[in-house]
Amino acid sequence: MPVVYAELRRRAAAYLRRERRDHTLRPTDLVHEAYLRLNAQHAGFQNREQFFGVAASLMRRILVDHARGRAAGKRRRELRVTLAEDVAATNPHEADVIDVDRALTELAALDERQARLVELRFFSGLTAEEAAAALAISLATANREWAFAKAWLFRRLGPAPRPRRAS
């Protein structure tokens, strides 16, 4: 358990580093909430990747729930996620975590496996090899789908196109 806890906390800290600086959740809070939800599921995990994949999904849900709660309380969105250069095909930008969740839901409607791959890589911090193993696909397929999913998400979450000025 101490090894799993340390790994979950490391991944939560890495994820929260992408959030805005004044975020109220701390890595320990995120891990504890994820652990409580994992424990409530009483699921038997087949391997390490599957466990961390479920943990990634739970951390995503926790962050989205937290963002919705803040938005409801303040009637504005403040929880931000930074899409790092390794996630976006071009310049990084900030996207609201609720928008990221909506985009992943849309991606899942188009391709469930690609959405799952994003969760495993982005939210859980799995390597390409670990994510491929968790999804039972080849590394080449995982890399190809990761590239497509990143481009799709960046296009979906990217800044709105600037209106053209009439000449």
161 Rama class: left (phi>0) / alpha (psi -120 to 50) / beta: beta
**Angle, to 10 degrees, between the axis of helix 48-74 and the axis of helix 97-110?**
130
Per-residue pLDDT tens digits of the chain, which is 167 residues long: 777 788 888 878 877 776 767 677 888 888 888 888 887 776 677 777 778 778 878 888 888 888 777 766 554 444 455 555 454 433 344 457 788 888 999 999 999 999 989 988 877 777 899 889 888 999 999 999 999 999 999 899 876 555 555 55
Each domain of the chain, given as residue ranges in start order, spans 2-157
Whole-number CA gyration radius for the chain = 17
Residue found by looking up tokens 């891990």 in the block = 31
Residue 79 is which amino acid?
A: L
75 Rama class: left (phi>0) / alpha (psi -120 to 50) / beta: left
pTM (whole model) above 0.75: no
